[in-house]
Amino acid sequence: MKPAILVVDDDEVMRQTLSDVLKKKGYAISTAETGGQTISSVKEHFFDLILLDIRLPDMDGLDVLKGIKEIESDLMVIVMTAYSDVQTAVMAMKSGAYDYIDKPFELEELKILIQKALETQNLKNEIRQLRRQGKEKHEGIEIFGNSPLIKNVMELIEMISQTPRTSVLIQGESGTGKELAVNAIHYRSKRVNKPLMKINCSAIPENLLETELFGYEKGAFTDAKGTKKGLFELANGGTIFLDEIAEMKSYLQTKLLRILENQRFMRVGGEREIVVDVRIIAATNKDLSALVNGGQFRKDLYYRLKVMVIEMPPLRERMEDILPLGNLFIEENNKELGKNVTGISEAASEYLLNYQWPGNVRELKNIIERAMILSNGKEILPDHFPIELRKGQMEGLEDRTSDTEDLALETVEKKHIMDVLMMMDGNKSKTARMLGISRSTLREKLKKYSIAAA
Ligand SMILES: Nc1ncnc2c1ncn2[C@@H]1O[C@H](COP(=O)(O)OP(=O)(O)OP(=O)(O)O)[C@@H](O)[C@H]1O
Ligand SMILES: [Mg+2]
C-alpha cells in the first residue's frame, strides 16, 4: 500500500507542484487548502504523513497542528515555514511536528525529509513489534520433513505465499508447527518487508484484546489520554497472525469479519473508518466447525476464514518425519550449545518411533534438547529420555522389568536422578532439593553415573 500524504497549502501552484512531484515518487496524495479542511480530512481519513503550510487563511497553522495531534497523536507532520521564521519553527517542533522545512526549499530536500519521516515511522512500529515479541528467539521459517502429509503442507504454503491477500486458517494440534507455517507464508510472500504482527487471543483479557487489535481514539475510555494504533494499523502492508482465534469473543469476531470483507475498521471510541491492507492468518487447535455448530463461533466468519485452510498433521501420522526431525534438532543444538552429539542410538530411535507424541514436534524438540543435555557420550540413548516416553514404551513391550539389570538399585537411582533433572530443566539446585539431597551429593552422583548436566 502506498504511503498516504496530505498536502496542506493555500497556494494552488504550490499544492499542485507538490502533489505532482510526490505522486511520481509513489505516494498517494490528498490536498487541503484551509485549516478547517485539514482537520476534517484527518478526522475522516488515514494518513501516514502531513505536509503542513503554517500560514493558512482561516486558522493559525500552529493551531491546526495542535488539532491534528489531538486527533492522532503520533501522526507525522512536517511543517513548511517562511524563511527565517525560526520562532514558529521552534513552536511547531514543541507542538509535536516531526520536522520543518523553510520556504522556499529544494524539492529534493523535501523528498529526503519525507522519506526520513516515513522510515522513522516504520522504525517506531517495528520497535513496538519487537517489544511485543519480547524474548522470543529468532523464528524459524523452514518447514522440515519428507512425509507426503508435510510435503502437501509445504506446497500449499508455497501457493498461498503467491496470493498476498487471501486470508488463511491454520488448524492443528498443539506443537504441530502452526506458527512456523505463518512465518513461512509471511516471509515467502510479497509482504516480507512489512511487519508480521502476532497476537494470541487467549492470552489477553477481552477488553485489552480489542484495543490491542484496533487501537483507540482519545477519550475512548477514562485512561485514553491520547490515541493508540492497533495491530491492524501497525501491520499495514504486512500480515497479522491471530493465534487461538476460537477464544475471540463474539463482538470482536464481528469486527474481524468486517475487516475481512472490506479492509475497514474503526478504532475503539472512534468514528472514522481506517482502511488497511493486511493479510489475516488465524490459527486454532480447536475444531472450529464444532464451535460453529455449538454457537460459540460465528458461522459467517468461519466460512470467510475457511476459504484457505491448512491442516497441520500430527506427528504420529507422519512417523517417517520423526528421526529426520530429531537429527535436525541435534544439528541445530550442536551448533548452538557447542556440543558434539552424533545421533540417536538404534534403541533410542525405537522409543521415539513407538511414542504417540501428544505434544507433536514441539515435544520432540524438547525431548531431544533435554537428552542432549543429559547425554555424556556422543549418542542419545534411551536412558536420556524422560519417563513418559519410556512408560508408553513399556506398556507396549510387556515385561521390561524382568530384565534384572534394570532392577539394580543403582540403575534405578540413575534413571530417577535423570528424570528429575529433566523435569527441572537441568537446574541442579532445584533437582537436589527435589531429591532431598544436598547439592554436593547430587554433584557426586552425577559424576558417578557420568551424567553431564548442562
Ligand atoms: N516441520 C517442522 N520442521 C522444523 N521445525 C518444526 C516443524 N514443525 C514444528 N517445528 C518446531 O516445533 C516447535 C513448535 O512449533 P509451533 O510453535 O509452530 O507449533 P504450534 O502449532 O504453533 O503450537 P501451539 O498450538 O502449541 O502454539 C517450534 O520450535 C517449531 O520451530
Ligand atoms: Mg503456536
- pLDDT tens digits, 190-233: 898 888 999 999 888 888 899 999 999 888 787 777 888 999 99
What is the band of 254 on the pLDDT scale with cuts at 50, 70, 90? very high
Residue at a domain's end among 311, 345, 376 = 311
pLDDT score recorded for residue 220 = 79
Shared domain check, 327 and 438: yes
Within 10 angstroms of residue 162's Cβ, the number of other Cβ atoms is: 10
pLDDT at 218: 84
Q: Which residue has the cell 523528498?
A: 111
Cell readout for 284 is: 486454532
Q: How confident is residue 407, by pLDDT bands cut at 50, 70 and 90? A: low
**325 and 305, same structural domain?**
no
Task: Tell how far CA 101 is from the center of its chain.
Answer: 37
Task: For ligand 1, atom 28, name the residue with the nearest CA.
Answer: 362
The three-point CA angle 377-381-387 to 5° equals: 125
* Residue corresponding to grid cell 475444531: 287
Same domain for 108 and 174, yes or no, is: no
Give the range of the structural domain holding residue 439, as residue numbers without chain letter: 318-448
Rounded to whole angstroms, the Cα distance separating 38 from 15 reads: 13
Residue-level pLDDT at 21: 95
pLDDT value at position 242?
97
**pLDDT confidence of residue 224:** 72
Q: How far does the centroid of ligand 1 lie from the alpha carbon of residue 22, in Å?
A: 44
Give, for ligand 1, the residue of 139, 176, 180 to mutate: max count of ligand atoms closer than 8 Å to Cβ. 180
Q: Which of 93-97, 148-152, 200-204, 335-339 has the highest mean pLDDT?
A: 148-152
180 lines ligand 1 (CB under 6 A): yes
**Closest residue by CA, ligand 1 atom 18:** 177
Ligand 1 atom nearest to CA at 364:
12
For residue range 81-104, list pLDDT tens digits in order: 887 788 888 899 989 999 999 988
Are 266 and 214 contacting, i.e. CB atoms less than 8 angstroms apart? Answer: yes
Residue to mutate (ligand 1; options 141, 149, 179, 241; most atoms within 8 A of CB): 179
What pLDDT does 261 receive? 92
Q: Strands 196-200 and 228-229, how do they pair?
A: unpaired
Q: Are residues 225 and 286 in the same domain?
A: yes
Alpha carbon of 283 to ligand 2 centroid (Å): 8
Q: Which of 209, 292, 215 is nearest to 248 (CA)?
A: 209
Number of structural domains in the chain: 3
Q: Answer whether residue 156 shows pLDDT above 90.
A: yes
Residues 277 and 340 both lie in one domain: no
Using left for φ > 0, alpha for ψ between -120 and 50, and beta otherwise, residue 84 falls in: left
Average pLDDT of 137-146? Answer: 76
- List, as one string, the DSSP characters of 266-331: --BT--S-EE---EEEEEESS-HHHHHHTTSS-HHHHHHHTTSEEEPPPGGG-GGGHHHHHHHHHH
In a domain, 197, yes or no: yes
pLDDT of residue 171: 96
For ligand 1, atom 23, name the residue with the nearest CA: 175
Cα distance between residue 198 and residue 156, in whole Å: 21
163 & 296 share domain? yes
Grid coordinates of 66? 495542535
Nearest CA, atom 16, ligand 1:
177
The answer on 204 and 57 residing in a single domain is: no
Residues 244 and 327 in one domain: no
More confident position, 140 or 215: 215
Return the pLDDT at 453: 61
Measured distance CA(246)–CA(256) in Å, rounded? 13
**Per-residue pLDDT at 183:** 93
| Structure letter (DSSP) for residue 64 | H
Query: Tell me: the pLDDT tens digits for 72-87?
Result: 888 899 999 887 788 8
Residue 377 has pLDDT above 80, yes or no: no
Q: Residues in the chain, how many?
A: 454
CA of 318 to the centre of ligand 1 (A): 15
pTM: 0.69
Burial of 262 (0-12, 13-18, 19+ CB in 10 A): exposed
pLDDT of 136 reads 42
Cell of 3: 504511503
Q: Is the CB of 171 under 6 A from ligand 1?
A: no
Alpha carbons within 13 A on the beta-carbon side of 126: 8
Q: What is the pLDDT of residue 454?
A: 47
One domain, residues 219 and 301: yes
Per residue in 159-173, pLDDT (tens digit) is: 999 999 999 999 999
**Residue 242 and residue 266 in one domain:** yes
Backbone φ and ψ for 199, nearest 5 degrees, come out as: -145, 140
Residue 204: burial class (beta carbons within 10 Å; 0-12, 13-18, 19+): middle
Of 155, 180, 181, 152, nearest to 168 by C-alpha is 181
**CATH code at position 430:** 1.10.8.60
* Ligand with minimal distance to 140 CA: 1
Of 269, 287, 311, at which residue does a domain stop? 311
What is the Å distance from ligand 1's center to 260 Cα?
A: 26
For ligand 1, mutation pick of 244, 361, 364, 365 (most atoms within 8 Å of CB): 361
Residues 53 and 173 placed together within one structural domain of the fold: no
Per the model's pLDDT, the better-predicted residue between 336 and 79 turns out to be 79
- Compute the distance from residue 180 Cα to the ligand 2 centre, in Å: 8
Residues 63, 296: Cα–Cα separation, whole Å: 49
Cβ–ligand 1 distance for 424 under 6 Å, the answer no
Cα of 146 from ligand 2 centre, angstroms: 22
Within-domain flag for 136: no
Cα of 98 to ligand 1 centre, how many Å?
A: 42
Q: State in Å: Cα 428 to ligand 2 middle.
A: 30
Say if ligand 1 is within 6 A of residue 149 CB: no
Nearest atom within ligand 1 for CA of residue 181: 18
DSSP 8-state symbol, 383 = G
Q: Which ligand is nearest to the CA of 149?
A: 1
Question: Average pLDDT for residues 319-339, to the nearest whole number?
Answer: 91
Burial of 432 (0-12, 13-18, 19+ CB in 10 A): buried
263 and 352 co-located in one domain: no
Question: Cα separation of 303 and 286, whole Å?
Answer: 16
| Domain-embedded: residue 54 | yes
